Amino acid sequence: MGLPMAQRLLAANIEVVAYNRTPEKLAPLQAAGAEVVTHPRYAIREAECVILMLTNAAAIYHVLLSDTSWRTLQGRTIIQMGTITSTQSQEIRDSIVGGGGEYIEAPVLGSIPEAKAGTLTVMVGAEPKQYERCLDLLKNFGPDPLLIGPVGTASGLKLALNQLIASLTTSFALSLAFVQRQGIDVDKFMQVLRESALYAPTFDKKLQRMLDGNYSNPNFPTKHLLKDTDLFISEAQYLGLDLSSIETVQKLLQTTMKMSFANDDYSALFSVIRDWGEASGG
């Protein structure tokens, strides 16, 4: 996700200093005109605004809040765009403010195609004045960044939406496998579904992958959806909600990981549902 987002900044003639924990991933950015550095503190020193698109909170602490990096945060604005919990985001904010920096969260809904096109849904957790200051920059990633509320609210909303990704895809995969086993024409199933209030566009986005069993070149791999599902459950446990439905999805994703689909598209959970059916019906 970070690569096409940085490429959009370069295309807008914004100077970019790039750091990645996997240095070889920076080659396309360097070719496009970005300055490449070997340690995050060098990027932080040269930047007015630091944009993070990292896997999890542990990666953020490693890159941004190690002692050498934390000392360089004075006067910098940090925009955290990955998926973490509200609690983690607030704790990171407190650490950054303690180092003299400013922090907002701006997680996104969408994947690599939307990142390339600049059509991500950008959700912002910040004070209104912070939001206004960062709005033009964030518009490089999505046309209408939306202020959700203070830090923590955008992270929470992102997890709520990713819970839907996991649950909707699981439900659709189960119905699709059921239709196939019943000998019902898949095209007719989809025709009725598309014309109903039950339809969600994500179904068509994942349909062909499921039918073909082609889960390579993912826009969003299984391991990341499981990570986000784990985060949702960990945060929701304190809210008094019944989590039995998403915990079942979590187990399906864990099994999908065990079947060597960790780095494949998360629609691979269809194979788990289908193969379980074969086992129980065998």
**Which parts of the chain are beta strand (E)?**
17-18, 35-36, 49-52, 77-80, 102-105, 108-109, 121-125, 146-149
**Which parts of 87-168 are beta strand (E)?**
102-105, 108-109, 121-125, 146-149
Are 11 and 94 members of one domain?
yes
Active site residue 158: yes
Q: Of these residues, 116, 158, 188, 223, which one is catalytic?
A: 158
CATH number reported for the structural domain that contains residue 85 in this entry: 3.40.50.720
pLDDT the model gives residue 66: 84
pLDDT the model gives residue 275: 84
Torsion angle of the four alpha carbons 193, 142, 3, 260, in this order, in degrees rounded to the nearest 10: -20
Query: Model pTM?
Result: 0.93
Are 144 and 181 members of one domain?
no
Say if strands 121-125 and 108-109 run parallel, antiparallel, or are unpaired: antiparallel
Are 114 and 180 members of one domain?
no
Are 63 and 30 members of one domain?
yes
Q: What is the pLDDT of residues 22-57, one digit of tens each?
A: 999 999 999 999 999 999 999 999 999 999 999 999
Of 98, 121, 150, the last residue of a domain is: 150
- C-alpha pair distances (Å), 62 with each of 8, 110, 167: 26, 25, 31
Are 180 and 119 members of one domain?
no
Rounded Cα gap, residues 172 and 267, in angstroms: 10
Token pair belonging to 236: 């929701």
Are 113 and 1 members of one domain?
yes
Range of the domain at 19: 1-150
217: left (phi over 0), alpha (psi -120 to 50) or beta: left
Of 236, 223, 244, residue with least CA distance to 86:
236
Gyration radius from the chain CA atoms: 20
- CB contact set of 209 (below 8 Å; sequence gap of 6+): 215, 265, 267, 270
Of 248, 255, 260, 247, residue with least CA distance to 272:
255
Residues of the chain with pLDDT under 50: 279-282
Are 140 and 192 members of one domain?
no
Are 138 and 62 members of one domain?
yes
Between vectors from CA 240 to CA 235 and to CA 244, what angle results, nearest 5°? Answer: 80
Q: Is 73 exposed, middle or buried (0-12, 13-18, 19+ CB in 10 A)?
A: buried
* Number of domains observed in the structure of the chain: 2
Rounded Cα gap, residues 80 and 103, in angstroms: 8
pLDDT the model gives residue 277: 53
Are 28 and 146 members of one domain?
yes
Are 110 and 192 members of one domain?
no
pLDDT the model gives residue 69: 83
Of 117, 150, 183, the last residue of a domain is: 150
Of 108, 125, 150, the last residue of a domain is: 150
Beta bridge partners of 102: 77
Are 47 and 121 members of one domain?
yes
